[in-house]
Structure 1
Amino acid sequence: QKNRNRRKGVQREDSRCSTEALQEEEEGSASRNIEKCYTIKTSEVMGRYLVASKNIPAGEILMSVEPFVVGPSLDSREICLGCYVDLDQYTSKQRCDKCQWPVCDKKCKGYGEKYGHSREECDFLRNVPYTQSKTALNVIVPLRCLLLKTQTPEKWDDVLSMESHDEIRKNVPIIWQTNQTTIVEKILRAQEKSVFTEEEIHRICGILEVNAFEITVGDHGIRGLYPEAFLLAHDCIPNTSHYNNDQFLFEMRTTVPVRSGEILKTSYAYVLQGTMRRQDHLRESKFFHCICNRCKDPLECGSNLSTLICPICRKSTLLSTNPTNLEADWKCFNQSCDAYSKSGQKMKILMDRLYEEVESINGCDIQGYEEFLKKYEHFLSSSHYLMIGAKYSLCQLYGKIEDFMIHELSTEQLRRKISLCEEVLQVADIVSPGLSVLRGTVMYELHAPLMVLATRDFQSSNMSKDAIRNQLKKVKSLLVSSCKCLQNEPLSTHEGSIGQAAKEALEALKSWEKCLGRF
C-alpha cells in the first residue's frame, strides 16, 4: 500500500535470501551481515513489499541497514547539522565558520562526516543564506539526497526507485507550494551548474515524505531514508518493530511469530488512534488509503478504539457503517433504536473537537485527564482511542510526578493505576501485539503499583508468604516481558531508559527470594 511502483500485469519476485550466517557485532558498527529471511514481491495494488521466506519466531532480526541520508525533520527546531543536538540549550547561536548554518561547535563530531555536515554540503550551503525560521532546515535532507547523484550514483538510483506520489502531491497546493518556496527554489538558485532539475528536487521531496523514517535523538526527532526498509507494507496491526541506534543503524525485528509467505508489516500511523484519524494521517502524509482488516472492521478487531455509545438508547454501540469511507453514516447498532444517525462529516468535526480538547490538557495534569474521562464516559466507549489516550497518559503520570510519586500513592490510587494499565494493555495486545514497545512500556508501568502493594502487605503482615510470593511472581513475569519488548531500544531514548529500569527492577527482585524463596 505504501510503495506503488507499478507496471501493469507484473508479478515479480526478487529473492534476497543469502546464505551468510548472522554475525553478532557491537552496537555502532556497520550494517550487520545477517541471513535475510524475506523476499521482495510486487503486485499492482501494493507495489513492492516484503514477504517472509520461512517461518520466523518473534524477536528475530530481519534487517540491519545503514541510511542513505539522515537529517532534520520538516519544520524542525534549530539543531546542529553535524550531531543533531538541540541548539536551544546554547545561550549564543552557533554557526559553521564557512557556510554560516547551524552547528554546535567547530569541533562537532559530525562535521565532515557522511551522516553529518559534510564538506560537499557546506560548500553548497555557502550559496544558501541561512535565515532562522520554522522551515529553514527543510532544505537539508533533500539536498543530502541530491548530492548522492554525483557522489554515489548507485545509491542515487536506489533512492529514485522509491515512490514519490508526485501526481497526488501536485494536487495538494499547501505541500507542493511550500516545497517550491522553502526547498526547490533555494536549491535551484544556489547550484553553480545545472546539476539538479526542478522536477528532480520535487521528486526527492516526495520520496522523503512517503518513505523516510523518524529517528529519535534526545527529546526530538530527525528523519532518515533507508534501503529496503521503505518496502515494508503498512498495516494497522503490525508484525514487526524497528529502532535506530546512536549511529542511525536501522534494525527491524518480528514482534510476533510470522509464517512463511506472510507479509512483513509495520504501521505508519499511531496504533492507539481510531480509524478515522489514522485514515486522515495516512492520506495526508503517505498519500494512500488503507484497507487493512482493522480499518474495514467497525469494531477494529475487537479493540473498540472507534466505538461510541448511542446517546439515545445508551444500550448499544454507535459505529460507522463503512469505516474506510470517511463520509459514511454512523448509526446505532441496536435494532430497536433507529433514532440516531450522524453523517461521517459531522462525526469527524465532533471527533476533531474532542481530540483538540484532550490534547489541550497539560501533559502533567492528572486531574485534567481524569475529568475528561468522567465527562465523556457516557458517550465514548471505555476503550475509545480518546479515552485510551488519556488513560495511557495517566498510566505514566501516576507514580512519576510531584505529589504523585509511586511510594506516595494511596492504596486507592495504586489500584487506579493498575486498572488503567490493564485497560491499555488489553487494547495493546490487539493492535500492537507481541514484543512491541507499547506493551513493554505498559507492563513496566503495571509492575510498579503491584510491587508497592505487595511490599506494604508484607510489611503489615496482611498477606501470607504464599500470597505475596504469587503477587511477586506476577511482578516478575511483567518485568521479564517488558525487558524482552524493550531490550533493543537505545539507552538514549525514553523507551531505552524504561527497558534499563525494568532490568534493574528485575535484579532487585532477587533480594525478596532470600526471605520468600524462589518465585
Structure 2
Amino acid sequence: MSPDAREDTCAVCGGPAAQRCANCRAARYCGRAHQRAHWKDGHKAACHPYVVLTSPALGRHWVAARDIKAGEVLLEERPLVVGPKAGSPPVCLACYAPVTDGRTCSACGWPVCGARCEMAPVHRLAECPLIAGQYDARRSAVYCFVTPLRCMLLDSSEGDRRAAFRSLQSHLDRRIGTPLYQAYAINVAAFVLDRLGLRRLADSDGGPHDERSALEATAVLDTNAFEVRREGGRKFRAVYSQASMMAHSCTPNTKHVFVGDPADGCPVIRITAAVAIGLGCPVTATYTQTLWCTRDRLRHLQSAKCFECACPRCTDPTELGTHLGSIACRACATGRVPITADGPWQCTGCGRRTDDSGGDGVAEAEHHVRSLSRADGAGFERFVKQVYASEWLPLHAGHYVTVGAKYALAQLYSNRISELTPAQLKYNTKICEELLWLADVLEPGITRFRGLLLFYLVRGLKQLNRVTKTKQNNYETIKNYTEEAVVILKTEPDLVHLIEQLQ
C-alpha cells in the first residue's frame, strides 16, 4: 500500500497515523520525525489552510480545511506569467514603470528603464528576440500581444509553470465570437503567428502554434489575471496558479496585496483572511469593486470573466440592505425602490409600483460627478448636500453615485486636513461613519476600504479637537479607531507609511 493510499496513514511511511498537520489538516503522520521529514521533502510548499475542491457551480475553488482567523496569511505565491496590460501606455517591459525618456532595449528597440531591465530574463529570454523593429508608439494596441506571447513561449524548462497555466479556465468558446476577440484575432493571433513568425516554430510540446493557441492564452489571461498596481505608476497584470482558483464573491472573505520590491516585475501575491472563515466554508475573493451596484458588477463579470454571479449580495435586490443600486421613491421620498432586471418595481416603504427605473436621472448624476475635478471639494460638497435635500431624485444618501461622491470627498478632505473648517471636519466625521457602516456590510474585517476610512476618520477627529480647542469627550473613540486602523494598515504594504500620521 502506498503512503497516500489511505487518509489515516502516515504520508511518509504508510504506517498508522495518530496526528495530522495543524495548518492544512490534510497530511497525517505517525510521529513528529516523519512530519518534519515531510515538511522538508515538499509539504512546506503545498501546506495551506484550505483545500481545492470542484463543484458544478463554482468549478475549482478553495474551501477552508480548518477554522481560519481574521488576519491569517493563507498564501504567498509567485506568478506564473507577468506582463503589460493590453491597453498599456509606454512602459518598461521588465518592471513596467512608465517610460518617458526614450530609453529602449538595444536588442529589440522597445522601451526599458535601463541596462538592468534590458537584461532581465522576463524580457530578454522571452519576446526580445522576436519583436525587433515592431514597436510603434502610435498604435493604441501596441502592447496587447506581449503578455499572451509570453504565455505561448513557456517552454519545457518551465514545465510546472506551463502545465499550471494551461490548466486554468479560459472560457474561450464563449469569448471567441465577441468583438473584442475578433480584434484579438488580428492584433494578437495574426500578429504573433505571422508578423513575428511564431507559426513557423513548434510549441514546447512539439505541436504547431495556431490561432486557437494564441487566443487560448489571451483568454486565460482575461479570465484569471490580477491587476497589479505598484509604486511609481506601475500597472500590469499577473497570473497566479493557486490564487486564480479562489471563487468570486461580491462580499469576499479575503483580500490580496502584492509584496516585495515595488520595482520587481514579478511580485508575490499575499492572500489574507479579512474575516474569520469557518471550517468547510468557501474562501472567496472579488473581481469587482465594492462600491459598484449589482447591475454594473454583473455586467463586468459577464463580459470580463464569463460567469453570472449568484452570491448573496447579487441575489438580494436590496444588496444586503444597503440599497446601493435602489432609487428613491418619487411618491414617498423616504422609501427605496430596488431595481432588478425586470420591472415593474415596488417601493419598500409605501408599496407603490413603478415602471420608471430612474435610469435617466442616475445617468445625469453620474455624468455630473465624473465631470467634477478630483480637487473640487466645493463641488462634491454641493452635490452630496443636494442629494440629501432631494434635489437629485431619484438618488438618495446610500445610492452608489452618492456613495462614490462621499468617498471622493473623504479622500479630498484627508489631503487638505489642515485647511478644513470645523464644519467641514464635522461633515468628514458624518461621511466616514456612514461609509464605515457600508464597509461593515459589504467589505468587513481587515480590508483596505475599512482601513482607509478609519484613517480619514481619525485624522479628522484629531484635527477637530485641535481647531475647536474644546474637550470633545471622544478620546476613547479615537483611541479605538486608531488601534483598528493600525492593525489594518500594517497589512497593506503601500499604506504602512500612513500609520505615522495617526500617532
**Short-chain TM bin:** 0.7 to 0.9
Equivalent position amino acid for 2:497 in 1: Q
Q: In structure 2, which of residues 188, 213, 219 is the aligned counterpart of residue 200 of structure 1?
A: 213
How big is each residue's C-alpha offset from its partner over 1:176-210, in whole Å with a ceiling of 9 and x where there is no partner?
11211221111101124243221011011111001
The answer to whether the aligner puts 1:178 opposite 2:183 as a matched pair is yes
CA-CA distance at 1:355 after TM superposition: 2.6
CA-atom RMSD, angstroms? 2.3
Alpha-carbon distance in 2 for matches of 1:394, 1:129:
41
In structure 2, the partner of 1:69 is: 81
Cα deviation digits, residues 154-183 of structure 1 (max 9, x gap): 32121111111111112312x111211221
Q: Does 1:161 align with 2:167?
A: yes
Whole-Å separation in 1 of the counterparts to 2:130 and 2:244 = 28
Which position in structure 2 is the counterpart of 1:296?
315
Q: Distance in 2 between matches of 1:187 and 1:269?
A: 31
Name the structure 2 match of 1:47: 59
Return the offset for 1:291: 1.1
User: Which runs of structure 2 are paired with 1:15-164 in the superposition (5 Å)?
Assistant: 17=26, 35-88=47-100, 90=101, 93-105=102-114, 107-108=115-116, 110-114=117-121, 116-126=122-132, 128-164=134-170
The counterpart of 1:485, out of the listed 477, 481, 488, is: 488
Q: How many angstroms does 1:129 deviate by?
A: 4.8
1:453 shift after superposition:
2.0
Report the 3-state secondary structure (helix = DSSP H, G, I; strand = E; otherwise coil) of the residue aligned with 2:236: strand
| 2:447 maps to 1:442 | no
Residues 332-368 of structure 1: per-residue CA shift (max 9 Å, x gap):
2345534x3236xxx5565444333322221111122
CA distance in 1, matches of 2:377, 2:467: 24
| Partner residue of 2:270 out of 240, 243, 251 | 251
Q: Secondary structure at the match of 2:270?
A: strand
Q: Sort the Cα spacing of 1:200 and 1:17 in 2 relative to 1 into closer, same or farther, 3 A.
A: farther
CA shift, 1:16, in A, is 9.2
Contact 2:410–2:432 (CA<8 Å) still a contact in 1? yes
Give the deviation of 1:479 after TM superposition: 2.0
Closer, same or farther: CA 265–419 of 1 in aligned 2, 3 Å: same
- 1:500 aligns with 497
AA aligned to 1:193 is L
Q: Distance in 1 between matches of 2:430 and 2:350?
A: 33
Kindly provide the amino acid, as one letter, of the partner of residue 491 in structure 2: N
CA contact (8 A) 1:100 1:130 kept: no
Instruction: Give the Cα separation in 2 of the matches to 1:270 and 1:199.
Output: 32
Q: Which amino acid aligns with 2:193?
A: L
1:481–1:336 Cα change, 3 Å: closer
Give the number of equivalent residue pairs: 450
Which of 231, 242, 256 aligns to 2:256? It is 242
Q: 1:271 to 1:18 in 2, by over 3 A?
A: farther
Distance apart, 1:410 and its partner CA: 1.4
Question: What is the identity percentage for the equivalent residue pairs of Structure 1 and Structure 2?
Answer: 28
Cα distance in 1 between the residues matched to 2:164 and 2:459:
47
2:437 is aligned to: 426
Counterparts of 1:335-484 in structure 2, within 5 Å, are 335=350, 337-338=352-353, 340-342=354-356, 347=358, 351-377=362-388, 378=390, 379-400=394-415, 405-457=416-468, 460=469, 462-463=470-471, 468=473, 471-484=474-487
Cα distance in 1 for partners of 2:82, 2:301 equals: 22
Q: Secondary structure of the equivalent of 2:128?
A: helix
Q: TM-score, normalization: structure 1?
A: 0.82
Which structure 1 segments of 5+ residues have no match? 1-14, 22-31, 509-519
**3-state SS of 1:414 partner:** helix
Unaligned runs of 5+ in 2: 1-23, 29-34, 37-43, 204-208
Name the CA distance, whole Å, in 1 between partners of 2:27 and 2:493.
Answer: 28
Structure 2 match to 1:269:
288
Which amino acid letter does the alignment assign opposite residue 98 of structure 1? A
For residues 273 and 458 of structure 2, the distance between their equivalents in structure 1, rounded to whole angstroms, comes to 25
